[in-house]
Amino acid sequence: VEVNLEEQFEAKVAKDIRIEPKDWMPDAYRKTLIRQISQHAHSEIVGMLPEGNWITRAPSLKRKAILLAKVQDEAGHGLYLYSAAETLGASRDQMTADLHSGKAKYSSIFNYPTLSWADIGAIGWLVDGAAIMNQVPLCRTSYGPYARAMVRVCKEESFHQRQGFEIMMTLCNGAPEQKKMAQEAFNRWWWPTLMMFGPKDDESPNTAQSMRWRIKRFTNDELRQRFVDMMVPQAEFLGLTVPDKDLKWNEAKNGYDYGEVDWNEFWNVVKGNGPCNKQRIQTRVKAYEEGAWVREAALAHAEKRAQRESA
């Protein structure tokens, strides 16, 4: 029977028929999805923090309102993603506990500090740009709830990316000091953004299987290359210099050659030793503890209602 189920599953994936929560699926497929979706959810939640740092200091009321909306969208994305992981049998409490204990991973990018307002532009432009590059293909991922969540997430991400680009445009067309701030932010965020796509394909233990299951539609290096090719002309348009002396157009491959990412730095950040890892986790733990009364009140309210209804 097991063989049959496995064959049926493989056949569905091959035909691009979505796998749904109640369908039979191999244990390893379920585990991989829980891993990726929960890491993605944690990234959205932790990803609120670097930008949250600038909400009170945004340079105008309009900028503040836009940034507040963007950060709230990220909370929403985190919640859809936790729900998608729950459809696979993951428990929300366990996922939260794993984030808070440092056991769970989340994107390395959110362990870097936001030192100036230009960093908010750079995050929207580069980090959301990378997120879109990675997530548009996930709208066609083989697991139904994850694919459907990505559709709305991607729409919101494209708004986020435009707001980031618009901040960069404003700074680049402004005073020399503003242009300098924009370049410095670009210098800080460029390489960490390239790391978001994950290790090189030959050092990525999960890619081959995830491609076979059509969870991933492109490899880490494929998406990283597309991202570089998309961003270089945008940087030129802004009048910014890409901080990579090895960057060079390669006519034969119809794309850019670019320098080597500092993989030591990448693994160091993934292992918890980036500039802000400890601070990020502490902030999440504190928020969770301070929200205990809300969870207790909601439970007490639900119990009262249930009693009233059964009376």
Q: Which residues bind ligand FAQ (CB under 6 A)?
A: 35-36, 39-40, 43-44, 47, 74, 105, 107-108, 123, 127-128, 131, 134, 195-199, 204-207, 210, 220, 270
Phi, psi of 257 (to 5 degrees): -85, 145
Looking at beta carbons, which residue is closest to ligand FAQ? 47
Q: Would you give the DSSP letter of residue 255? A: E
Name the token pair of 141. Answer: 């991922």
Smallest gap from Cβ 109 to ligand FAQ, in A, equals: 6
Q: Would you give the DSSP letter of residue 109? A: G
Q: Of the two residues 158 and 179, which places its CB atom closer to ligand FAQ in the complex?
A: 158
| Sequence letter at residue 53 | N
Q: Are 151 and 86 in contact, with CB atoms under 8 Å apart?
A: no
Q: Of the two residues 8 and 101, which places its CB atom closer to ligand FAQ in the complex?
A: 101
Residue 24: count of CB within 10 angstroms of its CB: 14
Q: Of the two residues 183 and 277, which places its CB atom closer to ligand FAQ in the complex?
A: 277
Smallest gap from Cβ 208 to ligand FAQ, in A, equals: 9
Q: Would you give the DSSP letter of residue 274? A: S
Distance CA 85, CA 9 (A): 19
Smallest gap from Cβ 251 to ligand FAQ, in A, equals: 29
Smallest gap from Cβ 311 to ligand FAQ, in A, equals: 45
Please report which helix (H) or strand (E) contains residue 288, including its range. Answer: helix 277-290
Smallest gap from Cβ 240 to ligand FAQ, in A, equals: 19
Smallest gap from Cβ 293 to ligand FAQ, in A, equals: 27
Q: Of 203, 198, 193, 199, give the one whose Cα is nearest residue 244.
A: 193
Q: Of the two residues 123 and 276, which places its CB atom closer to ligand FAQ in the complex?
A: 123
Phi, psi of 242 (to 5 degrees): -70, 125
Q: Of the two residues 45 and 171, which places its CB atom closer to ligand FAQ in the complex?
A: 45
Q: Of the two residues 107 and 183, which places its CB atom closer to ligand FAQ in the complex?
A: 107
Residues 6+ apart with CB under 8 A from 31: none
